Structure 1
Amino acid sequence: MDLELRHLRAYLAVAEERNYTRAAQRLHMTQPSLTRTIQQLERIVDCRLIERTSRRFALTDEGEQFLTTAGRIVADLDAAIADLQLRSAVSIGFSWLLPDIWFAAARTRFETLGGHVEIHRIDDPIAALLSGGIDIALLRKDIRLPAQLATRAIAVERRVLAVSARSPLAHARQLRWDDAARYPLVVNTITGTTDETSWTAPHPDRTIVTCTNFDEWIELIAADRGIGAVPELARTRAPHPGVVYLDIPDAPPSHVRLVWRATPAPARSVQRFLDVA
């Protein structure tokens, strides 16, 4: 049997506690299991490290010497692991309109702890998450997620109507959400926030134009193929000379969520980002 880190940690706990019962409790193991681990260690080093008597606990001379070495090894290893964990990178995938204020704050908090954030613009972040291409997906679309994924809402965004600058709606006043239910609708089927079900009473003959990413979506809006709705952030983050964004007071809000793999359990760096985000 080779010497393992568990042998060193067990020996350090026993030597520091000077008591097998307390050391076992500290290590969350049974006392017989701890005793066997120490016995294995002594067989590996071929030397008695602890004097066992009914009246006192003591380390042998060899045990005292080994305690110093073992303590230094474990401390150095723990420091190296902690340093690597702090410098680990977390990759975040988004399809469009990364919430810049939230992201800047979350990245600053995470990188203050020593980590590093990588961002990736991806048409289908959920597919990338499932394949292991990213660690966390930012999602606005309300969809049923696979069982191995977990999600957490981080923001609620106002929704605005997007219409072609050539559309008569571009100059509409006091437009309400239900007023838009009869117009052709452009739907980003992969990551869009709005589709025909976003209206409680959609027009039965409504034309639906589909696409699979934001770039296609905004060009179809500009071409007057239909209307659409997006978070208000698009007004400043995605201006387009052929698109007008209209305020709709009663438009339903959209939600921003973080999604990550819950099975198997996420890496510590991923959990640390989730904690600060």
Structure 2
Amino acid sequence: MLLSMSIELHHLRGFLALADEKHFTRAAKRMGVSQPTLSRNIRRLEELLGRRLLERTTRHVTLTSAGESLYDRLNVLLPQLEAALRPETDEDTFRVGFAWGFPTGWPQEVIARFEEETGVPVRVHRHDAKLAGVDRGEADLAILRGRLTSPDMEIVTLLHERRVAAVSTRSELAERHEIGWRDIADHRLVLNEVSGTTNLGDWPPERQPGVAVVCANFDEWLEAVASNKGMGVVPEFVGRQHIHPFVSFLAIPDAPTVPLNLVWPAHGGHPLIPRFVAMAQAAVAGEQR
């Protein structure tokens, strides 16, 4: 019936996004389309259904009774449909994404136990993106650092990691053992703007460091620091891995910590996500005892 009515999935996804956001601009941004495109798709959906779904004003969008009814049904049915349309090659694999610096210890324990208890193999792969591919359907769940917000994602923080400063062995700071958080403002930073965990907003507006280099991934960031382009700030575990012969690390005793999170789709996700999350929470709790 949907095909004969020419209703397509992007019409339905756009309607759900608009119903959630109550705002055309925010919904269009969430869908990755322009506002006029979203408006046309919503009008087309209303035409095909022969019902008004929204009440529009200059500032607000509200659902009509027909819109409320459709929203309630689609909120259940659309994730199920998207799950049914997932390629068969992924049905027997649980995909865990990460942006950089995959943790050691508890993840390996969890993956081994998960595979043993469910019989489903886990594939871990890196994506140089803010959400490590979980928002594009390229991962079922992601392990990510930083303070994250996304209306389409469930986010659970497992633990908090301390930070360290990374400097070139040629830097005048390389002989030091530590540096204060506010003192970093006296130096220039190398920032990974795609998947990094540090940004200028971590410092007070009146005491922010300058930016020497902006990078798109961890490897570029590391080489910029090693080349003495500027200082970097990363979670403490990076400093324990001896990742580059020309990079030294300094403690930052008063630095704000970095959350380590599990992130997965709020709707239509892999059915084994809750199992993996519960195992991860139990494993991390066991390490912290």
Structure-2 separation of matches of 1:149 and 1:125: 13
Structure-2 separation of matches of 1:137 and 1:125: 10
Structure-1 separation of matches of 2:178 and 2:272: 48
Mapping of residues 132-171 of structure 1, within 5 Å: 132-145=137-150, 147-171=151-175
TM-score normalised by length of structure 2? 0.61
Structure-2 separation of matches of 1:104 and 1:202: 42
Query: Do 1:129 and 1:135's aligned partners in 2 also have CA atoms closer than 8 Å?
Result: yes
TM-score normalised by length of structure 1? 0.64
Aligned length, in residue pairs: 190
> Structure 1's 208 and 267: CA in aligned 2 closer, same or farther, altered over 3 A?
same
Q: For residue 197 of structure 1, what is the aligned residue in structure 2?
A: 201
1:178 corresponds to 2:182:
yes
Query: Do 1:187 and 1:195's aligned partners in 2 also have CA atoms closer than 8 Å?
Result: yes
- Once the two structures are superposed, what CA deviation does each residue of 1:46-69 show, in whole Å capped at 9, x if it has no partner? xxxxxxxxxxxxxxxxxxxxxxxx
1:238: how far off? 5.0
Identity percentage over the alignment? 37
> Structure 1's 205 and 141: CA in aligned 2 closer, same or farther, altered over 3 A?
closer
Per mean C-alpha deviation after superposition, the further-off stretch among 125-134 and 148-157 is 125-134
After the TM superposition, list the runs of 4 or more consecutive aligned residues in structure 1 that deviate by more than 3 angstroms: 201-205
1:104: how far off? 1.1
Query: Do 1:93 and 1:125's aligned partners in 2 also have CA atoms closer than 8 Å?
Result: no
Q: For residue 209 of structure 1, what is the aligned residue in structure 2?
A: 213
Mapping of residues 31-46 of structure 1, within 5 Å: none
Q: For residue 19 of structure 1, what is the aligned residue in structure 2?
A: none
Q: For residue 120 of structure 1, what is the aligned residue in structure 2?
A: 125
What one-letter code is carried by the residue in structure 2 that aligns with 1:199? W
Q: CA RMSD for the aligned pairs? A: 2.1
Q: 2:275 aligns with which of 246, 266, 272?
A: 272
Structure-2 separation of matches of 1:175 and 1:116: 43
Higher CA-based Rg: 1
Mapping of residues 198-237 of structure 1, within 5 Å: 198-200=202-204, 203=207, 206-237=210-241
- Once the two structures are superposed, what CA deviation does each residue of 1:205-244 show, in whole Å capped at 9, x if it has no partner? 7234211100000000011111011111112335211110
Structure-2 separation of matches of 1:204 and 1:153: 27
Unaligned runs of 5+ in 1: 1-86
What one-letter code is carried by the residue in structure 2 that aligns with 1:212? A
1:247 corresponds to 2:251:
yes
1:108: how far off? 2.1
Mapping of residues 60-139 of structure 1, within 5 Å: 88-113=92-117, 114-124=119-129, 126=131, 128-139=133-144
